[in-house]
């Protein structure tokens, strides 16, 4: 969330623990390598989520550290926190405390299960939320197939989507404040987001009362819409309507299927999935992935190869869209990063700051925002209330 807001022009102060910093700094290997191919102390995981942020290390558990952060909050538009419910109140950094001195503060709390309810005190982690929120029940091969069973998504999708929803909420709250002068508390729960993003699968259940099953790479509502094996690998065929099915049949020399009453409409194909898919499996396995892409793509049949990440970043379209960027890192290395996908017509996103080393901005922020001098900073550092980095 903070990285997204930074890309959109916000100055983001990331408050970390002195000495260790954010846990994800240690979530490696892999780590960023310097120009001599030696590891730095920055994990690839940390780099992925912290572009544009200023790292300040302050021990909020100390009275003086908490006071410093409260003073910084007076200069901020937004406070984002992801502590357990009630923890911030222990440090005098909760919404109710901060709004007394800054009534227009926008305060966003992100927890596993929200600020209310029977599970509010339980810590939430992405994989646990994917499980309890239903995503793993519809992800993975069917229990009837080899390797069947629940699977998590290959990235922390709930964390990512919660950040995106939270950013939307914060921007909306800023607009509300601009119009009314009123700040507010935004209560974001990973579980709420997970439930919300199940989209058509939610409605498949709510309209029938029957929980959806796992279909692996197949679609519960559209056929054929899945992966198919080819002579040299696999590809995705994503037929979204009856006209596309007719085009697919014509291009792939399966014209007879387009006129077969069992497969004429998507509803027919869905009801007769178990008859259609084996026919397609046998036919598509006779040619290479490149062959099928080369004849289906030009006639408007949605399809795609299944690329590894080395193929993704070498893809002409990805290169054209500028999705990989490189920023100079304060360690002396060059950090390879992924660009923000938003493309504005008038306001180009600028990437001015690489993911920070631990505490590298503590001194500059305290000096420029709170007018601390070198003596103040040295004293706080000696007391280990702050950390000015390594």
Q: Which are the catalytic amino acids?
A: 159
The helices-and-strands tally (H runs, E runs) of the chain is 18, 13
Give the sheet arrangement for strand 12-16, strand by strand: 12-16, 53-58, 386-387
Q: Which of 183, 135, 181 is nearest to 158 (CA)?
A: 135
Q: Read off the tokens for 104.
A: 């227009």
Q: Which of 88, 85, 84 is nearest to 97 (CA)?
A: 88
Q: Read off the tokens for 83.
A: 């502590």
Q: Which of 11, 124, 158 is nearest to 76 (CA)?
A: 11
CA distance linking residue 304 with residue 312, whole number of Å: 12
CA distance linking residue 388 with residue 366, whole number of Å: 10
Cα dihedral 318/319/324/328 (nearest 10) = -170
Helical spans, DSSP H, in 134-185 = 157-180
């Amino acid at each position: 969330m903070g990285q997204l807001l930074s890309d959109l022009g916000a100055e983001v102060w990331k408050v970390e623990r002195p000495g260790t910093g954010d846990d994800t700094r240690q979530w490696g290997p892999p780590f960023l390598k310097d120009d001599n191919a030696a590891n730095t102390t920055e994990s690839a995981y940390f780099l992925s989520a912290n572009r544009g942020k200023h790292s300040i290390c302050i021990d909020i558990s100390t009275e003086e550290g908490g006071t410093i952060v409260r003073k910084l909050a007076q200069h901020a538009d937004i406070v984002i926190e992801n502590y357990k419910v009630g923890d911030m109140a222990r440090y005098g950094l909760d919404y109710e405390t901060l709004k007394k001195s800054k009534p227009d503060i926008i305060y966003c709390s992100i927890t596993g299960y929200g600020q209310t309810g029977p599970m509010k005190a339980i810590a939430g982690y992405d994989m646990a939320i994917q499980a309890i929120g239903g995503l793993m029940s519809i992800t993975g091969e069917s229990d009837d197939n080899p390797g069947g069973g629940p699977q998590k998504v290959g990235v922390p999708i709930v964390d990512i989507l919660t950040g995106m929803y939270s950013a939307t909420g914060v921007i909306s709250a800023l607009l509300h404040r601009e119009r009314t002068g009123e700040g507010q508390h935004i209560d974001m729960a990973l579980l709420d987001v997970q439930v919300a993003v199940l989209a058509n699968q939610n409605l498949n259940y709510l309209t029938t009362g029957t929980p959806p099953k796992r279909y692996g790479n197949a679609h519960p509502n559209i056929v054929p819409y899945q992966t198919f094996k080819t002579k040299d690998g696999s590809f995705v065929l994503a037929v979204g309507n009856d006209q596309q099915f007719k085009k697919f049949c014509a291009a792939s020399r399966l014209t007879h299927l387009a006129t077969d009453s069992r497969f004429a409409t998507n509803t027919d194909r869905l009801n007769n999935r178990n008859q259609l898919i084996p026919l397609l499996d046998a036919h598509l396995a006779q040619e290479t992935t490149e062959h099928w892409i080369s004849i289906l793509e030009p006639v408007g049949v949605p399809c795609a190869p299944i690329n590894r990440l080395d193929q993704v970043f070498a893809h002409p379209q990805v290169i054209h869209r500028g999705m990989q960027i490189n920023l100079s890192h304060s360690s002396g290395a060059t950090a390879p990063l992924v660009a923000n996908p938003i493309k504005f017509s008038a306001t180009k996103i600028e990437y001015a700051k690489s993911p920070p080393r631990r505490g590298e901005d503590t001194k500059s922020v305290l000096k420029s925002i709170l007018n601390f001098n070198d003596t103040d900073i040295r004293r706080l550092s000696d007391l280990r209330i702050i950390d000015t980095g390594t």
